[in-house]
Structure 1
């Protein structure tokens, strides 16, 4: 890589790792909030879900801002917003303070994906290598962020940990403002639009053009894929949001210190997900993505059905079923990303991924609020039953898309 490429890759790797560190550390904090703030699962799920909703819903307007102000400025602002939000999380009192901080985090974090991926696409000449490093950094944040949060909670109370977690993003913001590179160094280098996750949207210049492109996109087979991705997002967020708290009483081994043991099982589950992402990416190259996705979602439905009975057998069984959950929960991500590419034309690929983020993180955020409500109404059995239903709906829809595609030919 040339110096310009390296500068950009360093910035986006930092951003991707931080975004997912914060995103998946929040359920770790919830194990403390439920005990110390005296709030119900429904109330906490609604507050957390609102922050996650902005994380997804802000992707489309974030893309417009990227076109207007450039990626580097937006990423630096994202760092300031995320770091500042976690500092506020530790300083503001009560549920309302927590909600305000999470809303600020969601709004700031929503900018990252359109900004980071657009920057890779327009600024890095070795785009494929940059996307690989970008994905690795995201995986480090997914697995390492929750583990780091859990370990810090052994030594500090949660407000102090929140402030400490906010500091790296603020330091990264200083680096982002000070760094210098050519954001458009690769424009014209790549002759054909990239069909993968990293191609920025051919974003329209006004609302009318956005509406026209969006109508054309949803008039195609992408409408079914959007629903499929939204169902996957509801399962993802509904499963993960309260999972650390649900896992703790299921761990039957005696630990040398008094900790919420579910935090560590949760972190391990996310680490196993890295292998799932790799396998899912390989499957997307060698299998019809709709059938592979249908199979993976069917497994997730089965996991939701058997999770509590199997986990109740003992800690070894809990770890095994958690590993299966983590593997398949992340295996579906490259599969639905590949499916989006197969159901959209190249000129609408970036816009389609914008809507994909809206579905998985925006619509999916309702899974956090729904999970809290179901836990308060009837406890874990109802929650896991509802999650199984969502996965079965997704599996059926994906199978239906595969059948329809076989009937109409190779172009959905």
Structure 2
């Protein structure tokens, strides 16, 4: 990587880690909210706090996280990535501070909606920045994904450890600090946002400008981005035109893949700590039974207190940390294998894992740890694959819009996975949930097969 590549990758790694630190800390808090709150008071009506209602609350914030990606993608093409990434980090910091002082589930919902709005602009901004500014794009996607998974794993882990010492509200306020510091760094970083695209365009122009060959000119337009290759989307009319152009082609199938990915991702992770807590051998352990009383007192805990280690939180965090390896493998895979084939195989694996997860996990702690590790790896292999596929099927000039639609599918439509999971767990069973998740993955795999065959015959 050259200096510009390294500067960009450093920024997006930091910001991506922050986004997912907050995103995946929430399921840790969900287990506490289920026991701390009894009702959701809407004035004219009251609702019990259970998996179904909290699933809707979480879906609202996660949904905005995805829905905001589309206007965020439009803003990226007009304003650039650095400014939006900085605002994203500031907004997330403020939101988690507000979460920390929330007295009710309604206040929690409002704070989480604010987080979703702030975080929503990151993925189109960060991914467009890599795709247009980094020469070694596949490697950039890989490191970007790894940083996200470090945040995904460390966020819940830090939250779980802090909960041994302080209330969840204090934990939320403490977590607000790193994003504030990251925003200051983002505002001062220096790099060229369009170095890779300008370099490629210059090479293409040198070989095709002035050519009377229509095929050469068409190739130049395609490599440079086709329609609106340089200007992005600047009006409602252009937004509609470029959106139609995207979905008139094979991007519509990529969009189905990312929706299925989001539904699986959110469906399996939102209540995973709760699911794990009900498995054989995953029982709370009193800290006083593990650590001498004098040592407990030295770190501010009481031997006679009711502080407990909750193994499910650490298994959940470990599963997510292993996703770092999956992200790296998926990113490297995009440099050597057609992403369509990778999508077909990776989602087929996720479908199989959904079907065997509970039967294997119920065999005991060791089988649970093994299947959880495999799930953590497989769950994140797919992300660099569909990110690279978006880059293959969309023009450079509207790449922000393209990734906006992508994360509208992943985190907007995908947020429904949390509500679906909550409703299934409340009114059916975990077995039904995992069969449903297998269906999402199977559909994505079939679409990957179609794209692969279509590409090979094109």
Q: Which whole-Å CA distance do the structure 1 matches of 2:339 and 2:3 have between them?
A: 37
Q: Does 2:313 correspond to 1:263? A: yes
Residue 201 of structure 1, CA deviation = 8.4
Q: How does 1:61-210 map to 2 (within 5 A)?
A: 61-119=71-129, 133-177=143-187, 179=188, 181=190, 186=195, 190-192=199-201, 203-210=232-239
**Which residue among 234, 238, 255 is the counterpart of 2:267?**
238
Q: Which moved more, 1:184-193 or 1:148-157?
A: 184-193
Task: Provide, for residues 81-122 of structure 1, a one-character-per-residue CA deviation record: whole Å limited to 9, x for no partner.
Answer: 101111111111111011001100000011223333455567
Residue 2 of structure 1, CA deviation = 8.7
Q: Does 2:66 correspond to 1:56? A: yes
Q: Which residue of 2 aligns with 1:247?
A: 276
Please say if residues 85 and 122 of structure 2, whose CA atoms lie closer than 8 Å, have aligned partners that are also in contact: yes
Task: Provide, for residues 34-69 of structure 1, a one-character-per-residue CA deviation record: whole Å limited to 9, x for no partner.
Answer: 221231111111111111111111122123334555
Q: Which residue of 1 aligns with 2:35?
A: 35
Q: Which residue of 1 aligns with 2:212?
A: none
Q: Which whole-Å CA distance do the structure 2 matches of 1:307 and 1:6 have between them?
A: 39
Q: Which residue of 1 aligns with 2:413?
A: 363
Q: Which whole-Å CA distance do the structure 2 matches of 1:171 and 1:390 have between them?
A: 38
Q: Which whole-Å CA distance do the structure 1 matches of 2:223 and 2:11 have between them?
A: 21
**Change in 2 beyond 3 A, CA 1:16/1:304:** same
Q: Does 2:386 correspond to 1:336? A: yes
Q: Which whole-Å CA distance do the structure 2 matches of 1:209 and 1:330 have between them?
A: 34
Q: Which residue of 2 aligns with 1:394?
A: 444
Q: Which moved more, 1:164-173 or 1:134-143?
A: 134-143
Residue 9 of structure 1, CA deviation = 5.1
Q: Which whole-Å CA distance do the structure 2 matches of 1:370 and 1:201 have between them?
A: 40
Give 3-state SS (helix, strand or coil) of 2:28's partner. helix
Please say if residues 147 and 263 of structure 1, whose CA atoms lie closer than 8 Å, have aligned partners that are also in contact: yes
**Which residue among 177, 190, 213 is the counterpart of 2:242?**
213
Give 3-state SS (helix, strand or coil) of 2:281's partner. coil
Please say if residues 46 and 368 of structure 1, whose CA atoms lie closer than 8 Å, have aligned partners that are also in contact: yes
What is the Cα-based RMSD across aligned positions, in Å?
2.9
Q: Which runs of 5+ in 1 are unaligned?
A: none
Q: Which whole-Å CA distance do the structure 1 matches of 2:240 and 2:32 have between them?
A: 43
Q: Which whole-Å CA distance do the structure 1 matches of 2:137 and 2:452 have between them?
A: 31
Q: Which runs of 5+ in 2 are unaligned?
A: 39-48, 202-221, 288-307
Instruction: Report the number of matched residues.
Output: 404
Q: Which whole-Å CA distance do the structure 2 matches of 1:379 and 1:351 have between them?
A: 38
Q: Which whole-Å CA distance do the structure 1 matches of 2:231 and 2:29 have between them?
A: 38
Q: Which residue of 1 aligns with 2:218?
A: none
Task: Provide, for residues 176-233 of structure 1, a one-character-per-residue CA deviation record: whole Å limited to 9, x for no partner.
Answer: 45x264666848752349899xxx9852111111111111111111111211211111
TM-score normalised by the chain length of structure 2: 0.79
Q: Which whole-Å CA distance do the structure 1 matches of 2:133 and 2:441 have between them?
A: 38
Q: Which whole-Å CA distance do the structure 1 matches of 2:37 and 2:139 have between them?
A: 45
Q: Which whole-Å CA distance do the structure 2 matches of 1:84 and 1:147 have between them?
A: 21
TM-score normalised by the chain length of structure 1: 0.88
Residue 341 of structure 1, CA deviation = 3.2
Q: Which residue of 1 aligns with 2:339?
A: 289
In our comparison, the structure showing a higher alpha carbon Rg is 2
Q: Which whole-Å CA distance do the structure 1 matches of 2:12 and 2:440 have between them?
A: 33
Give 3-state SS (helix, strand or coil) of 1:250's partner. coil
**Change in 2 beyond 3 A, CA 1:218/1:83:** same
Give 3-state SS (helix, strand or coil) of 2:391's partner. helix
**Change in 2 beyond 3 A, CA 1:34/1:194:** farther
Residue 266 of structure 1, CA deviation = 0.8
Residue 293 of structure 1, CA deviation = 1.9
Please say if residues 347 and 444 of structure 2, whose CA atoms lie closer than 8 Å, have aligned partners that are also in contact: yes
**Change in 2 beyond 3 A, CA 1:8/1:92:** same
Please say if residues 71 and 183 of structure 1, whose CA atoms lie closer than 8 Å, have aligned partners that are also in contact: no
Residue 25 of structure 1, CA deviation = 1.1
**Change in 2 beyond 3 A, CA 1:404/1:126:** closer
Q: Which whole-Å CA distance do the structure 1 matches of 2:259 and 2:78 have between them?
A: 29
Please say if residues 201 and 351 of structure 1, whose CA atoms lie closer than 8 Å, have aligned partners that are also in contact: no
Give 3-state SS (helix, strand or coil) of 1:244's partner. helix
Q: Which moved more, 1:370-379 or 1:294-303?
A: 294-303
Please say if residues 201 and 350 of structure 1, whose CA atoms lie closer than 8 Å, have aligned partners that are also in contact: no
Q: Which whole-Å CA distance do the structure 1 matches of 2:382 and 2:173 have between them?
A: 33
Q: Which moved more, 1:82-91 or 1:344-353?
A: 344-353
